[in-house]
Amino acid sequence: VHLICVFPVLDVKLCMILEYCVRGDFRNIIDEFQQLPQSEKLMRGWEYTAQITRALDHLHSHNVMHRDLKPANILVNQDGTIRLGDFGLSREMNEDYYLTIAGTKVYMAPEVHLLKRMNKSSDMFSLGVIIFQLITGHHPYEADSEE
Q: What residues are annotated to the active site?
A: 68
What residues pair up with 17 in beta bridges, in sequence order? 5
Rounded to an integer, what distance in angstroms lies between the CA atom of residue 2 and that of residue 5? 9
Residue 77 · residue 86 · CB < 8 Å: no
Rounded to an integer, what distance in angstroms lies between the CA atom of residue 1 and that of residue 82? 8
Neighbours of 71 (CB within 10 A): 19
